[in-house]
Amino acid sequence: MAILEAKKLTKIFGDDPKKAIPLLEKGWSKEKILRETKLTVGVNQADFTIESGQIFVIMGLSGSGKSTLVRLLNRLIEPTTGQLLFNGNDVLKMNAEQLRQYRRKNIGMVFQKFALFPHRTVIQNIEYGLEVQGIDKKKRREMAMESLKLVGLSGYENSYPHQLSGGMQQRVGLARGLANDPEVLLMDEAFSALDPLIRKDMQDELLELQTKMKKTIVFITHDLDEALRIGDQIALMKDGSIVQIGTPEEILMQPANKYVERFVEDVDLSKVLTASHAMEKAETITIDKGPRVALQFMRDRGVSSLYVVDRSMKLLGLVSAEDASAALKEAKGLEDVMQKEVPVTSPDSLLNELFELMGGAKLPVAVTDDTGRLRGVVIKGAVLAALAGNGNSLLDGGDSNESA
Amino acid sequence: MNLPKIPLADWIETIEKWLENNLGPFFDIISAIIGGTVNGLDDVLRGLPALVIIAVFVVLAWFLGKWKLALFTAIGLLIIENLGLWGPTMQTLALVLTAAIISVVIGVPIGILCARSNAMQRIFTPLLDFMQTMPAFVYLLPAVTFFRLGVVPGVISSIIFAIPPTIRLTNLGIRQVPGELVEAADAFGSTPLQKLFKLQLPIAVPTIMAGINQTIMLSLSMVVIASMIGAQGVGEYVYRAVTQGRTGVGFEAGLAIVILAIILDRLTQKVVQRTEKQS
């Protein structure tokens, strides 16, 4: 279900900003409008839909308008034109009081430089949003403590922000944003000021929190790795316009234009692509078949081994041509000769986690889902092809595998 | 230059007359408030034994600062007492405190208004410049016309001269609150008043206190001038010593003012430092 929906949402800075609207509709560039009218295009006719429970990443370099765009969503910056719907209600038509209620109850925010109030303790910071709603002291303290616990900072409630490290301060920022339990959390470059290791921890924790709490998160970043890591959907911005919206895979594999292509060309694909992207259809045989059938299958399909599965495709083991021949001579079943120790991984594992697994083993890596059913197989050649960015064929391959 | 002289002096005097004739009751109310405050403070300060007042100041100094400030306060006030200037010094203190309190009561809200509206700031900035640079003697005259001789016009002219730092620094303190904090307060749905009282004023307190400190110092510098229109106190002693050419007496009275100034300055500075530490 769509929770936030933007239609031609636009922000122009300068005197008489409406003047630039027809020019934008004519397709004038940001530069040309600035030259001719002295008006600065902040956000140019942004169209997007954010689904409930999604992490929606808005990515772009500095000056691309991403911080402006996120501020249009809670009207910290007033949009010039366009439409913004929250659960179907028009946010831009709200009066001052309705807007305050929307900010208090529906949409929280976490800031790049934390923006904690220096004269308030950690717990007073977290309960700020509850305090302005007029929730009584005891209740709001309870709620704030709950939120503090969620970010793992219990025990620090009476510290002042300046006594905490950057990472801890941003946890407080996050707790403050979550305290009034908003449906949507806006995070404006929330982790950009943190050093890389802490940043990665925070990303992990955010993902964990999101799984637990099912918040809709709008996450602003200039860091592609971060976007790919946490985003369900990524909107890539340039000069105030959204250039492409898609899943991380779509952005990487089907860049909409040269700009996106250049943006993503340095990405370490092994940290983005998963086993499901590189896997191929696995040749299988059900366990009730005999060794003679197995050998026939191998001959027909031109392979030297088969995965042994039960009728529900649950992976049981692997049988090679030698194994099958031996079984035939000794009149045994497949069950007796198959190798039960097979390298296995899940469809979501990143390729870079597979390197070690694949380097050591002669066998390909089987991909099984969490019920143990065989989904496909990853061979070395396919991994290399995926890393080489052999995009479209791979995506197609991935899709057909999933349907198989 | 054959152009006729602009009759500015006539205009001003016409305005003065008009105000005197039409706003008399209004000035009487102001006069009653200011006079009442000064006299009330004066009654307390001079009604209690000098040693009690000294003890109160020393404890305050001890509490806000360290033993050094407490020691200086004790010695300084005892010197004033010893010079026989206790009474007039307390009268002066009553005048200065009244001017400072009224300056804060009027100045802080005006500073807040200036911080919230650029138009207000544009109106007040030249006005404050004017108030601070116009020689203080000049507005003694209308003050006397409206409020007659005595302590009230002295307080009024002290306020006019001393209020600008409180207004300016309140304005500055609020405007200096980092934009991202204001944004955060907005993002969580604060009303303008919640934002003012929960964020902007608390963060601006050290700056506002610095303004109040300057206001106190400036109103203290007005006491000699105020004594010329009948405000009693230690300023009167200085003024009399000057007109009678008695250097020794003048020096004694001047020293009392200096001691009072240093004590008030250090005490308010300690308050500034404390508020800074908190934020």
Reading across the β-sheet that carries A305-309, which strands appear in turn? A284-286, A305-309, A315-320
- Number of CB pairs, chain A paired with chain B, less than 8 A apart: 60
What is the pLDDT at residue A11? 93
Contact residues, chain B, for A129 at CB < 8 Å: 188-189
Fold entry, domain B8-278: MetI-like fold (1.10.3720)
pLDDT value at B25 more than 80: yes
Q: ipTM beyond 0.85?
A: no
Residue contact B186–A76, C-beta within 8 A: yes
pLDDT value at B189 more than 90: yes
Contact residues, chain B, for A102 at CB < 8 Å: 189
> Which of A128, A140, A186 best tests the B interface by mutation, with the highest count of B CBs <10 A?
A128
- Where does chain B have alpha helices with state H? 8-22, 24-47, 50-64, 67-82, 86-116, 118-133, 136-147, 151-175, 179-187, 192-195, 201-220, 223-227, 234-244, 247-278
Mean of the per-residue pLDDT values for chain A?
A: 87
Contact residues, chain A, for B185 at CB < 8 Å: 117, 128
Interface of A with B in 59-98 (CB under 8 A): 74, 76
Residue contact B203–A119, C-beta within 8 A: yes
pLDDT value at A76 more than 70: yes
Cα separations (Å) of B247 from A190, A264, B229, B242?
A: 69, 85, 22, 7
Contact residues, chain B, for A105 at CB < 8 Å: 189
For range A10-38, the mean pLDDT: 88
Hey, is the C-beta of B183 within 8 angstroms of any chain A C-beta?
yes
Instruction: Count the alpha carbons within 13 Å of B223 in the hemisphere toward its beta carbon.
Output: 30
- Pick B187's closest partner by Cβ from A76, A101, A113: A76
Hey, is the C-beta of B21 within 8 angstroms of any chain A C-beta?
no
- Tell me the pLDDT tens digit for each residue of A335-391: 888 888 888 888 888 888 888 777 766 778 888 888 888 888 888 777 777 777 654
> Which of A70, A99, A100 best tests the B interface by mutation, with the highest count of B CBs <10 A?
A100
Hey, is the C-beta of A373 within 8 angstroms of any chain B C-beta?
no
For range B124-150, the mean pLDDT: 84
> Which of B186, B188, B275 best tests the A interface by mutation, with the highest count of A CBs <10 A?
B188
Hey, is the C-beta of A133 within 8 angstroms of any chain B C-beta?
yes
Hey, is the C-beta of A117 within 8 angstroms of any chain B C-beta?
yes
Rounded Cα–Cα distance for residues B226 and B210 (Å): 24
Rounded Cα–Cα distance for residues B201 and A127 (Å): 19
Q: Quote the tokens at residue B232.
A: 């009693």
Residue contact A132–B190, C-beta within 8 A: yes
Hey, is the C-beta of A113 within 8 angstroms of any chain B C-beta?
yes
Mean of the per-residue pLDDT values for chain B?
A: 89
B1: pLDDT confidence band, cut at 50, 70 and 90? low
pLDDT value at A404 more than 80: no
Tell me the residue length of chain B. Answer: 279
- Pick B202's closest partner by Cβ from A104, A108, A119: A119
Give the count of beta carbons closer than 10 Å to the beta carbon of residue B1: 4
Most confident region among A20-24, A112-116, A209-213, A340-344 by mean pLDDT: A112-116
Rounded Cα–Cα distance for residues A195 and A199 (Å): 6
For range A79-91, the mean pLDDT: 93
Contact residues, chain A, for B191 at CB < 8 Å: 100, 132
**Beta pairing, strands A305-309 & A315-320:** antiparallel
Contact residues, chain B, for A100 at CB < 8 Å: 189-191
- The nearest alpha carbon in chain A to B184 belongs to A115
Strands, E assignment, A169-240: 184-188, 216-221, 233-238
pLDDT value at B156 more than 50: yes
What is the pLDDT at residue A162? 92
| Domain A275-403 in the same topology as domain A2-106+182-267 | no
What is the pLDDT at residue A274? 80
Least Cα separation, residue B206 to chain A (angstroms): 12
Which is the CATH superfamily of the domain at A275-403? CBS-domain (3.10.580.10)
A46: pLDDT confidence band, cut at 50, 70 and 90? very high
Radius of gyration from C-alpha coordinates of chain A: 27
Q: Quote the tokens at residue B2.
A: 């054959």
- Tell me the pLDDT tens digit for each residue of A266-291: 777 777 778 877 888 888 888 888 88
Interface of A with B in 140-179 (CB under 8 A): 176
Cα separations (Å) of A315 from A283, A306, A310, A367?
A: 12, 11, 7, 9
What is the pLDDT at residue B113? 95
pLDDT value at A394 more than 50: no
Hey, is the C-beta of B180 within 8 angstroms of any chain A C-beta?
yes
Strands, E assignment, A76-215: 81-86, 89-90, 107-110, 184-188
Determine contact, residues A175/A146, Cβ cutoff 8 Å. Answer: no
Domain limits, chain A: 2-106+182-267, 275-403
Hey, is the C-beta of B193 within 8 angstroms of any chain A C-beta?
no
What is the pLDDT at residue B192? 93
The residue with tokens 């390729």 is: A351
Architecture of domain A2-106+182-267: 3-Layer(aba) Sandwich (3.40)
What is the pLDDT at residue B31? 86
pLDDT value at A402 more than 70: no
Q: Quote the tokens at residue B169.
A: 């620094």
Least Cα separation, residue A311 to chain B (angstroms): 56
Hey, is the C-beta of B274 within 8 angstroms of any chain A C-beta?
no
pTM of the shown model: 0.75
For range B86-102, the mean pLDDT: 92
pLDDT value at A395 more than 70: no
Residue contact B187–A133, C-beta within 8 A: no
What is the pLDDT at residue A233? 94
> pLDDT higher for B275 or B52?
B52
pLDDT value at A393 more than 70: no
What is the pLDDT at residue A390? 55
Burial class of residue B125 in the structure, from the number of CB atoms within 10 Å of its CB (0-12 exposed, 13-18 middle, 19+ buried): middle
What is the pLDDT at residue A80? 93
What is the pLDDT at residue B279? 54
| CB neighbour list of residue A152: distance below 8 Å, 6 or more residues apart | A171, A205
Domain limits, chain B: 8-278
pLDDT value at A399 more than 70: no
